[in-house]
Amino acid sequence: MSYAAKAIGVTSVTPLAWVGGKLRILDQTRLPGEVRYLELAQPGEVVQAIREMRVRGAPAIGLAGAYAMALAAQSAREADLPAFLKHLRREAEVVAAARPTAVNLAWAVQRVWRAVEAAQSAEAARASALAEAQRLHCQGMEAERRLADYGAGLVPPGATVLTHCNTGALATGCYGTALGVLRRAWVLGRLRRVVATETRPLLQGARLTMWELAQYRIPATLVVDAAAGVWFQRGELACVVVGADRIAANGDVANKVGTYTLAVLAHVHGVPFYVAAPISTIDLHTPSGRDTMIERRRPEEVSHLGWGWGPDSQGLPAAPEGVEVDNPAFDITPADYVTAVITEAGVLRPPYQDSLQQVKHE
Amino acid sequence: MSYAAKAIGVTSVTPLAWVGGKLRILDQTRLPGEVRYLELAQPGEVVQAIREMRVRGAPAIGLAGAYAMALAAQSAREADLPAFLKHLRREAEVVAAARPTAVNLAWAVQRVWRAVEAAQSAEAARASALAEAQRLHCQGMEAERRLADYGAGLVPPGATVLTHCNTGALATGCYGTALGVLRRAWVLGRLRRVVATETRPLLQGARLTMWELAQYRIPATLVVDAAAGVWFQRGELACVVVGADRIAANGDVANKVGTYTLAVLAHVHGVPFYVAAPISTIDLHTPSGRDTMIERRRPEEVSHLGWGWGPDSQGLPAAPEGVEVDNPAFDITPADYVTAVITEAGVLRPPYQDSLQQVKHE
């Protein structure tokens, strides 16, 4: 089957676009039940959308942050350059702090800030902000397609591959990282099936990955997080491919909670464990996973099913009222469990202390 | 604090009782929101309650099956002993097949059947059936208290202990197995805190274990299944205690899906992994976990949140319509990962091939 034939009927997934001077985002809290777009005109609206996970996934958050800077520049009234920059500096701090764990957000905001800072006038700075956000978006698309090409080469023919959370176009605003690898492997005829973990508490696997895979017509099986072990035991998994929110200098990976457990299972079963992430995810200023701040989110995400998404955002109580909940959004996978890191510049192997530094400095 | 002082305000948890010629069960699909009892007068109603998991947990299912036999004997109209026995034999087969994985159900039904078969008249058989069911219930209570005593000795002072699914009074109809161990450790002042996994898809941990622990006033933290790894990484867990649905002759343990993953994590982190189960759970006719039939349940349990329980039993769609789901109810933990098996006859250690056989033949 050719690519063109496979593409018939494929719905395009456009989670993030600059349309008519506003940032249009696909509201991911409403998926899979409803495809609803939000038009955001103010940086504060973008910050809120990031916090409420209407846009989520480290790279997509980064792009949303970049566009938030463009919106901030657009709505800043100051004609005087120093006053304009002061205003934008404040906005940059607020936007960068919308979520703490993903390094891409601070990185993208910083990129736009530098472009703004270099401008000769407030007017030029305004144009620079949007241009830089759009450049990041284009670069992201190109980078993820390269990443997907590199990663697809690691997927053996006829593979069943496990993935966690959502790392597709919805997560990046572009082509996808781990799911991009699987999309590419599918197009190349190497992929048989994706096994997607539902990814509690917010069910990005069930709600978003299964939805994306359905758009791409890729065969997929949904399992609860705790059932992944059964697939390892059956010996049916060729590899695991996940994304990353932050990769420390030593190769430790911060990613959606549950990633560590999958890495341990992969290790015990001798299944390759790949992390697919753009170079912007690598943070050489964080020496190891121990130094990564792990966001703890609201207990209601666990105690109330569907809390924060779906038609009734209050959710269905699934535990007695007032129970104590521990809800870390991420966990740390030690570098030892990571077979390779797939980036847009190639596949990185241990020792990561060297390979990450090299790719970052190229 | 004395036991009596701690007991103040403790709500009794009576999931299963013979009241006025009927089996009264606490409908576990309504917890934690509603404490609702069902009165079952026919064996078919018990079978349905078992299938719908209104009563669940291997030992409680066994007791429910035993009482279903008492109900069958009570409602059988045959005055002639052979006809009566023929009728009851048929009922026994239906009851024993209500759920396939738990060995206790077939075992308990067989126990009642043998008592019935030994009777000299239909009238005597009727009385024997109920007496045997009640004897099983009393024996269960005594056995689980002994089991809890043995198990509590393994919990070090000040321990934080991880458990999975629900293995309390709700699961056994008596005192509890793994959770019985923790109840006893709490009374003895050895337990600091329970970490309970929510246990998707049916959330027995969130709905039932957290509810039971609240009744006993035991401090507890709820986590999603995928977050257990974080607690191992933090080094805060003294041990893991789980139940079992079936223990094979070689010590392989069939238990709620996710158990295997916790055992692997415990192994990698050097944390003791204990299985608490009555001797009736040990099945010497099953040579290994490979020979255990694993029940696959309906996809809606995964794709629809709250499906099968809660006020709206249709649940909230959490995945695109018609997705493929793999929903194994159990998994197999190889004996190598099991530090000890806690029974009412003592703590069994490897090699399980020997210790299980010995305890079973005592």
Q: How many interface pairs between A and B have CB atoms less than 8 angstroms apart?
A: 189
- Name the percent of chain B in helix, strand, coil, to the closest 5: 45, 20, 35
Name the minimum distance, in Å, from the CA of A291 to any CA of chain B.
14
Q: Which residues of chain B fall short of a pLDDT of 50?
A: 1-11
C-alpha–C-alpha distance, residues B67 and B342, integer Å: 26
Q: Indicate the length of chain B as a whole number.
A: 362
pTM equals 0.90
Chain-wide mean pLDDT for chain A? Answer: 93
The separation between CA B327 and the C-alpha centre of its own chain, rounded to angstroms, equals 19
Mean of pLDDT values over A89-105: 89
Q: How far apart are CA B234 and CA B229, in angstroms?
A: 9
How far is B54 from B118, CA to CA, in rounded Å?
32
Q: Is A210 on the interface with B (CB under 8 A)?
A: yes
Determine the 3-state secondary structure of B176 from DSSP.
strand
Cβ–Cβ of B227/A319 closer than 8 Å? no
pLDDT digits (tens, 9 = 90+) for A3-33: 333 334 444 788 999 999 999 999 998 899 8
* Phi, psi for B96 (deg, rounded to 5): -65, -25
Facing A331 at nearest CB: one of B200, B229, B328: B229
pLDDT at A309 over 80: no
Residues B354, B159 contacting (CB under 8 angstroms): no
B288-335 pLDDT, tens digit per residue, is: 999 888 889 999 999 999 887 766 667 889 999 999 999 999 999 999
The answer to whether residues B117 and B160 touch, using CB atoms and an 8 Å cutoff, is no
- pLDDT tens digits for B75-110? 999 999 999 999 999 999 999 999 876 678 999 999
H or E element: which one contains B222?
strand B220-223
Q: What is the percent of chain B where pLDDT is above 70?
A: 95
> Domains along chain B?
7-144 (1.20.120.420), 145-361 (3.40.50.10470)
Give how far B90 is from chain A: nearest CA, Å.
35
Contact status of B210 with chain A (Cβ, < 8 Å): yes
Residue A27 to residue B255: CA distance in whole angstroms = 39
* Cross-chain Cβ contact A306/B305 below 8 Å: yes
Return the ∠ at Cα A271 (arms to A270 and A274), rounded to 5°.
130
> Which residues of B are marked as active site?
245
ipTM higher than threshold 0.85 = yes
In this predicted structure, what is the pLDDT of residue B312?
63
**Chain B hits for A162, Cβ within 8 Å:** none
Express each pLDDT in A220-273 by its tens digit.
999 999 999 999 999 999 999 999 989 999 999 999 999 999 999 999 999 999
Other residues' Cβ atoms within 10 Å of the Cβ of residue A44: 16
Sheet holding A16-19, edge to edge: A16-19, A22-26, A37-40
- Output the pLDDT for position A58: 83
Residues of A in contact with B206 (CB under 8 A): 302-303, 318-319, 323
Q: Beta strand B253-256 with B330-333: parallel, antiparallel or unpaired?
A: antiparallel
- Catalytic residue chosen out of the listed positions A80, A149, A225, A245: A245
In terms of phi and psi (left: phi > 0; alpha: psi -120 to 50; beta: otherwise), the region of B165 is left
**Angle, alpha carbons A306-A310-A314 (nearest 5°):** 55
Residues of A in contact with B203 (CB under 8 A): 318-319
